[in-house]
A and B are shown apart, each in its own frame.
Chain A
Amino acid sequence: MGINLRMAMRALMQNRLQAILTLLGMSVGVAMVVIVSGLGRGAQLKIESQIEAAGPTRITIRSGNFVPAGVNSSGRQDSSGGEQAEGQVVSVMGDGGQLADIGKDAAAMDARRRAAAVRQTEYRNPPTPLGAAEMDMLRHRVADVKAVAAGMAGNASLDDNADIPVRVVRVNGFQPAWPEMSGWKLLAGRMISADEHAGGAPVMLVTRKSAGQLWPGQASPLDKVMAIGGRQVRVVGVIGGVDDSDSSVVPPVYVPVGLAQRVLGRKNYDTITVRTVSVGVTSQVAADIQQKLRDLHRLPDNMADDFRVTSQSVSAMPSMGADPHLVRAVHSNVTGFEQASWQQMAKSLRAAGRTFTLLLAGAAAVSLLVGGIGVMNIMLVSVTARTREIGLRMALGARAGDVMIQFLVEAMTLAALGGLIGLFLGWIGLLVTEYGLHWATAASPIMLVAALVMAAATGIVFGIAPARRAAVLDPVIALRSE
């Protein structure tokens, strides 16, 4: 084998230009395979993450119950209809301990279920605000929760700022887990650090759009300072992937919740968002949260929820890459969105991803085929040009098999070398598509090895015909050839 390899390398060296051209053809084929598999896998991973984002792993909790009469998201009958009437505030916040006994809690739930037939005719108004007790409960007493983030938003007037033409901004307070949950992308600068979150530091994030409204004509909003509520708030980052489709002329800014509380002058959160560990458990977790919130808020059986738990977060679904019809269908179907339809959507998304990968793989196969034909061509030429050498080797005792192996190894060496170059080219191609075109890519080592093996196999497949042709030559005729 070593001898054959050395012989092959020497033969290729003697035919340098042709070998290089063939290598190029082969390497383009392999590069295609690498790029395509990287893109295909990237697309599939992206689709999986879209399914994950689109699928109900997000549960949003709002204070107050605004659901119109009918079936709410958890399938529970709710006849409250619209915002609830004014009434006595019955706050149970902050006294803790009411859920200390899990066994008691479970028993209470059972009782509640038995009493589900009790008609809920009472309403609490204003509803219990969402605060630290709710956060604590969600963080520590609900199973299968991956992350919890509270948020609040409100418009606030700016102090006098020499360089800012607008008077009012929408202050969005968020917690550290939020950017990842909602799929924010950092476009410039940095995110708000954990320390800044903890201290409610005067830092903020802006979108490209709000930056344009606040500091029109400025190249970068980074390190710009905005005076609000007597504080100098500095821009540390620019984010994208924010759902600002319904944003008005008021530019949004994103700040630590602690800062928002001070600027907006209130403590309560507007929403608490929970991310569950997986799609499958979401409705269970939502039901659990509803029950525990009722217990936390000490709602009697005949009183309707004073909060709303929704487990749809379809709006978070990035439309990039997904079929727009599908996205619209999903968006318009929010209320009736159930596990079954979600699974169906996931299925069709996955199928679309597979089709995409298959198409690309087809293109890769074609270029590999072209590379293979190149190998076959150079090998046929080589066999013809070296007929005399073949005759000589036969005269010196080479069997048909020896000649066959010699040319097969040569074809395989050529293809594998092309494969190595192709791996390198493909790697560069992936880098370009990832950082130049911002396409999702994911190269797996297995695919890289497979590409090399495929290249060598192509060499063998397309090398067989020329090698056979060499092996069956008549030694006398081969020796006589010029």
Chain B
Amino acid sequence: MPVISLEAITKVYKLGDNQVDALRGVSLDIDAGEFVSIVGPSGSGKSTMMHILGCLDRPTDGHYLLNGKDVSALSRDALAEIRNRQIGFVFQGFNLLPRTTALENVEVPLLYSRPILPAAERRARAMAALEMVGLGNRADHHPNQLSGGQQQRVAIARALVNQPSLILADEPTGNLDTKTSIDVMRTLQELREKQGITIVLITHEADIAAYGTRIIAVRDGLILSDKANAPRPALEDEVAPVPMAAVN
């Protein structure tokens, strides 16, 4: 059973008399453990697709099965619950709470899980997630005391903390330089390899897309191409490989 199954998804934005067809019938299956890179020019509908995949928005038409369950017509609160339990988000702008420690940032999704976990357990889980991305020793740092790459890895830890089946990343390296971009991509790659988490990544850049096992090109709200990809192996990178925990 695919993790994600889109059936003829359309999304129409109405702007007064104008209407924008952001998605015009997208059908797509993504299996567990895939690392899918979605590429396409600006305005092609990548973010719209991700909002729907992430249950932040509902399609105008079509069906979206997440882990076999149709979520295209669920209520706001039901979607919130699904986002909390099954999906982790990584944004271009990190979106960490300012003046809040890395650990507490990672804890936030747990505050919205019901039943709520005891404080000690929340801390332990958040700490484990931070260690998974190699930032266990930065738990008490505030975002402004961390580099961009570290901030994005804190965001990845936050996406991981509730053990989702799917991580959605919308241009996670858009604000990072090449070197730190590679760190972040490695982190994502490792998650897929070690934990089998499904990852959907949106990007402009071909060399970032190359980290995926599958590359989907989108244009004008339609899928242009959909190819398997031999993921860029870490060892062939221009930067020497470093064990995860040491990359800070």
Interface residue ranges, A against B (CB under 8 Å)? 3, 10, 13-14, 388-389, 392-402, 475-476, 479
Contacts and interface: CB of A to CB of B under 8 A. Distances in A.
Nearest to A398: B112
Contacts of B112: 393, 396-399, 402
A479 B84 CA distance: 16
Interface stretch (B23-31, B62-70, B91-99, B189-197): B91-99
B76 interface: yes
Contacts of B91: 392, 479
Contact of B109 (A397, A401, A476): A397
Given A3-B111, A398-B112, A479 B56 contact: yes
B108 interface: yes
A389 B57 contact: no
B81 A397 contact: yes
B210 interface: no
Interface in B82-128: 83-85, 89, 91, 95, 97-100, 108-109, 111-113
A21 to B, nearest CB: 20
Given A393-B108, A396-B158, A388 B100 contact: no
Q: B interface, how many residues as a size bin?
A: 20 to 34
Nearest to A478: B56
B83 A397 contact: yes
B51 interface: yes
Given A14-B99, A476-B51, A396 B56 contact: no
Contacts of B81: 397, 399
B17 interface: no
Given A393-B108, A395-B89, A400 B76 contact: yes
A395 B99 contact: no
24 contacts: A10-B99, A10-B100, A13-B99, A14-B98, A392-B91, A392-B95, A394-B80, A395-B56, A395-B89, A396-B89, A396-B108, A396-B109, A396-B112, A397-B81, A397-B162, A398-B80, A399-B76, A399-B80, A399-B81, A399-B112, A400-B77, A401-B77, A475-B57, A476-B57
B80 A397 contact: yes
Contacts of B158: 396
Contact of B83 (A3, A13, A396, A402): A396
Contacts of B51: 476
A14 B143 CA distance: 14
B148 interface: no
A85 to B, nearest CB: 98
B54 interface: yes
Interface of B: 51, 54, 56-57, 76-77, 80-81, 83-85, 89, 91, 95, 97-100, 108-109, 111-113, 158, 162
Nearest to B94: A392
Contacts of B111: 3
A390 to B, nearest CB: 11
Contacts of B99: 10, 13-14
A109 B84 CA distance: 92
A395 B54 contact: yes
B161 to A, nearest CB: 9
Contacts of A396: 83-84, 89, 108-109, 112, 158
A389 B93 CA distance: 12
Contacts of A397: 80-81, 83-85, 109, 112-113, 162
Nearest to B109: A396
Contacts of B83: 394-397
B80 to A, nearest CB: 5
Nearest to B76: A400
Contact of B56 (A3, A14, A399, A475): A475
Contacts of A395: 54, 56, 83, 89
A476 B80 CA distance: 12
A14 B97 CA distance: 11
Contacts of B109: 396-397
A342 B185 CA distance: 92
A174 B77 CA distance: 82
A318 B100 CA distance: 64
Contacts of A393: 108, 112
Nearest to B77: A399
Nearest to B162: A397
Contacts of B57: 475-476
Contacts of A394: 56, 80, 83
Given A393-B112, A396-B89, A388 B80 contact: no
B240 to A, nearest CB: 35
A10 B108 CA distance: 14
Nearest to B111: A3
Nearest to B88: A396
Contacts of B56: 394-395, 475-476, 479
A54 to B, nearest CB: 64
Contacts of B162: 397
A397 B85 CA distance: 8
A398 B76 CA distance: 10
A-B residue pairs, 5 tightest by C-beta: A397-B84, A397-B112, A396-B109, A399-B77, A399-B80
Nearest to A474: B57
A392 to B, nearest CB: 5
A22 to B, nearest CB: 19
Contacts of A476: 51, 56-57
A389 B100 CA distance: 12
Nearest to A6: B104
A395 B85 CA distance: 11
A394 B108 CA distance: 11
Nearest to B89: A395
A476 B108 CA distance: 19
Contacts of A401: 77
A400 B109 CA distance: 14
A393 B83 CA distance: 10
Nearest to B155: A392
A410 to B, nearest CB: 14
A397 B113 CA distance: 8
